[in-house]
Structure 1
Amino acid sequence: MDNKNLIPQTEEIRELAPEDLKTKKENNKEFICNNLDKYLVDTHGNFYHTDPEMMGSKYYYIDNNYRNKEDGRIMFSSGFPSERNEQIRKALSENINKPSVNQAAIHQATFAQQPGRMMEFMEKKVNILQGGSVYFFYRPKVENNAIQKEEVQRFFFVLQPQNQSKYQLLIVGKKQLPTTEKNSYFLFLEAIKNNKEELLAALNEKHYLTKTRGERTLPVSHCLGAGKYLLVSHNNHTHFIYQLTNPSQVKEIQKEFNLQKEDDYLINIKNPQAATPPGVGLAEKQKVKFPPSLQNKFAHYSFIPLATSEFLNYEGAELLLISTGKENLTSRVSELESCLKKIHPDNLLDEFAKISSPVVLSPIKE
C-alpha cells in the first residue's frame, strides 16, 4: 500500500500538542502519544516528533515533507523504514499503561541507525527573525552625572527594527550586560515609542516636585553606543547579536557596562502567567497580556526561546538575556560553539550589511 495515503495530506492540519500517555482518535485514526518522550506513532506505524520546543506543534504534509504551519520550514521527511516504525510503535504500545517509555530504545530504533535523519532534525537553517538599529543608554541618578553603577539609575537599550519607525525600550535589571561569569539578566520592555520625537522626549531631562526637597531634576540619558542587531533563531534557541558602529573603539565607559564592539547572547521570553517568587519580576498590574496566538506558544513552560519578534510588540514583556559562555551551560558548550560557527560567518555579515546605519539620536558618551 502507498505509504503516502496513510498520512495526512496537503492542508490537513494536525495539532500535535504534548499530552499524557494515552491513545486518542483524530481524523478516524488512532494515535499513541507520550508526553515524557514526545513521540507519536499512528496505527500504521508512521513516526512523528512532537516536542514543541524542537519542532513546533503544528504541521502539514506536502511533497513527502512535514512542514511547520507558521513558516513553511521542513520539519522532517516521511518514509522511515517500516521495520523501524514497527519497533517504535511496539515500544509505545507495550508501555501504554506504564509511566514512561524507554526513550533510549526509541532513539536506538531510529536515529542511531539513521544518523542522517538526526542531522536533518538538528541542523536547521538559520532564521533571521529581525534586524535593525540598537542604541545603549544609561541615566544617572538625580542630579548626579557619575558613571559608577551605584550612581546609575538605569541602563537600557533601544531597538529600532529595520524599515520601521517605532522604538522598543528595554530595561536591563542589573544595570549592565551579562558577563561570561554571570548567569542571566532580566529585561523588560518598558515602552514602545512610535517615532523618534517620542523617544527623545523619554530620554530627555525631566523635572518634578517633591514635598520635602522642592524641584528635583532627572538628568538626560547618555548614549553609550549605537550599532546594528540581529535576532537569529537556530537549533531551538534564539541569539541576540549586536555590532557597535559608534564608537569605533570601546573605551572605559562602555566597559563599565560590559558593552563590547560586538557580542552574542541567548534570549528567552518569560511566560507572564508563570508563577514567580515574591519581589521578583514585574508587579501583577505591569505584566503583559499576550494575545492567545502568542500565549499558547508557552504551553506549560516558564520560559521559551524568543522564536518570534511579535513578542516585542507588547509593553511589559519580560525577557532573559543569557551569556553564551556562562558556567551552568557547560554541558551545552560544544553545541553552542558549533552553532556559532554556523551562524557567525559571511551569512550574518551579509545580514548586518543589509541593515541601514543607525541615525544619531544623541552624542556618544566619551
Structure 2
Amino acid sequence: MTLRQTRLDERKEQDSSAKSGDSSEEQIAAGDKRKAPANESADNADNDDRAKSRKTDDSANQDDDNAKAQKDTDTNASAPTTLSGSQSKADNTLKGDDIEINEGNSDGKKEVPWHVSEKGLVYFFYRPKVQSADKADSKSTESLDDVQNTFMLLVPRASESETAPASDASKEQGDKREPPNPTAYRLVSLGKKRMPSPEAALKAGQEPGGIGGRHSEAIWATVADIGADLKAVAEGMGAERYSTKTRGERLKPAARPAGRGHYALSIKTTDPPSSREVRITYHLSHPSEKDFGQVQEELGLHPASSVLMQMRNPTLAPTGPNAPAAGLPEDKRAILTKEELQENFGGDVNKNGNRYARPEEPALLDRQGVELLLIKRDQEEDDGSKGLGDEQSEALAKLAKEDSNKLSDDAILKELALSSKDVEVEALSGEWI
C-alpha cells in the first residue's frame, strides 16, 4: 500500500520539476525494502577535523555563501539559509515516506515506516541568570545551575502546516494562542533547562523520570513564542539592563548559542494507531562532535538524536484530582478549534477527551502556549532506532555535515540577524560562558 502524498512532497516536486523538468519519484510503499545507509565513518572523521575556533570564515567562497544567506535573511525571514546544490539534493530526499531497517532490534530485523511532515533548522540557546550589573564583565555561567532558561528554536523550511513557514510577517494576529498564525519560528522553552537525557540526569545526580526507569526521561516543554519574522528572535536574545529599588541595577545577560543543526518532524506510520509516534530528530552541524563539551553534556544535547513528542490537552487540568497545580494557567494555554480537539484528543471545548495526543499535524504547534512532553528512551538508540527512514536519516546527516564544514560560528549568528559582538559563541566549543 502506497502511503499518502503530502503538501511537503508536492512542494518539493514542483521545485524539482521547475528546475529540471523531470517527473517526480514514486512514493515508497510501506513494504518496500531499503538498503542500509552507507558507512559514515569517513564523514565523521571529516567532521572531527574542524578546528575549535571557527569565528572567522576560511575562504572567499564561504564569504559569498554567507552574504547570500544574509541577504535571504533580510528579504525572507522564514528562510535564513541557502542550501548548496548537494544539500538541495539531500533535502529532496528528506520528505514523504521511507522505511527504516532496524537491524539492532532485540526482536531481530524489523522494518519501520516513517513519514516526514516538516524539516528545517534547529538552534539551542541558554540564558544565564540575572545578575548585578557590576558583574557584567565577569564569566556568568559555570554550570547548568547558573542558567535561567534554555530554549529550542525551530525554523521550518518546508512543512505540511498551512501556516509554516511564514511568507508574510504583516499577517501576524494579536492573540498568538489562537490559529491561524503565520509561523517563521517556534521558540520552545525546555523544562529542567535541558533536553530530556537519562545520561545527563544521572550525571547531575538526578533520577530520570519516565516509563523505563533510569533508561528513559520525560520533560515538559512549552511553545513560549511564535512569529512570522525571525528578526523578533534577535530582539529577544539580547542583553537587557534594568533597575530595581531594592537590588539596584540588574543585568539580564544575552542568550548564548549551544547548538545548531537540521531537524525533521516525523510520524511512525504503524498499525494499530496506538503504536504510532511523533518524533523530532536532529543532526547538529555546530558544534562538531569533537567540540562537544560540558555545555552540550549538561544541556542533554547529542551530535544526533531523536526524541518522542506528545501534546497535552489544553482543556484539561495539568494534573490529576487533588494534585498540586502545574503547567500553564488556563488563560496562557494554546487554543484549539473544536475540530482539532475532537480529531486529536477525542474531546471538545467542555474539557473532555484524552489527556495527551500525538501532534501529527505540524499546524498544532503554530500557536503560543502549546504544552509538550518530550521523551528520550535510551533503549531505542541501543536498538538502532533513528526516528527516520534510512535514506531520510542519511540525508539529514549530510545537510548538517556540509554546514559544519562551510559555516563559521559568526555565520550561524548572522542567520538569525545576531552578531558575535553582542552574543558570546564560546559555548559552541563546549565552554560555559
Aligned residues: 249
- Report the CA distance shift for 1:162/1:352 in structure 2 as closer, same or farther (over 3 A): farther
Structure-2 change in CA distance of 1:185 and 1:364 (3 Å) = same
Decide which of 223, 229, 232 is 1:198's aligned counterpart.
Answer: 232
* Residues 1:264 and 2:316 are matched in the alignment: no
How far did 1:352 drift? 5.3
Aligned ranges 1:168-187 → 2 under 5 Å: 168-180=186-198, 182=208, 183=210, 184-187=218-221
Q: In the alignment, is residue 228 of structure 1 matched against residue 262 of structure 2?
A: yes
Out of 284, 302, 307, the position equivalent to 2:360 is: 307
- Matched with 1:294 is 340
Moved more, 352-361 or 161-170: 352-361
What is residue 374 of structure 2 aligned with on the other side?
A: 321
Given the two structures, how large is their TM-score scaled by the length of structure 1? 0.60
4+ runs deviating over 6 angstroms = 65-71
1:148 aligns with one of 135, 143, 152: 143
Moved more, 175-184 or 226-235: 175-184
Give the one of 281, 298, 301 matched to 1:241.
281
Partner of 1:343: helix, strand, or coil? coil
How far has the Cα of 1:214 moved from its partner?
A: 2.8
User: Cα deviations across residues 139-160 of structure 1 (Å, max 9, x unaligned)?
Assistant: 0101272132222111111000
Contact 2:306 2:386 in 1 (8 A): no
Structure 1 position 129 matched with structure 2 position 123: no
Aligned in 2, Cα 1:132/1:218: closer, same or farther, shift over 3 Å? same
Cα-Cα RMSD: 3.3
Larger relative contact order, structure 1 or 2 (CA cutoff 8 Å, min sep 6): 2
SS of alignment partner, residue 162 of structure 1? strand
CA distance 1:264–1:217, change in 2 (3 Å): same
Please list the CA deviations of residues 109-143 of structure 1 after superposition, one character each: whole Å capped at 9, or x if unmatched.
xxxxxxxxxxxxx9773110111101101101012
Query: How far apart, CA to CA, are the structure 2 residues paired with 1:147 and 1:294?
Result: 44
Deviation digits for residues 178-232 of structure 1 (CA, Å, limit 9, x no counterpart): 1236220000000013223210111111122322123311000010011111111
> Structure 2: any 5+ residue segments left out of the alignment?
8-26, 31-109, 159-164, 167-183, 200-207, 211-217, 271-275, 347-352, 414-422
Determine if contact 1:158/1:168 at 8 Å carries over to the other structure: yes
| Deviation for aligned residue 1:341 | 6.3
Specify the SS of the correspondent of 2:340. Answer: helix
* Matches for 1:1-366 after TM superposition, within 5 Å: 125-143=113-131, 145-162=140-157, 164=165, 166-180=184-198, 182=208, 183=210, 184-234=218-268, 235=270, 236-248=276-288, 249-277=291-319, 278-296=324-342, 297-299=344-346, 300-325=353-378, 337=383, 340=385, 343=388, 345-351=390-396, 353=398, 357=403, 360-361=412-413, 363=425, 365=427, 366=431
Q: CA separation in 2, counterparts of 1:206 and 1:229?
A: 30
Q: Taking structure 1 as reference, are residues 342 and 151 closer, same or farther at Cα in structure 2, changes over 3 Å only?
A: closer
Contact 2:263 2:396 in 1 (8 A): no
Identity of aligned residues (%): 26
Shift in Å, 1:238: 1.0
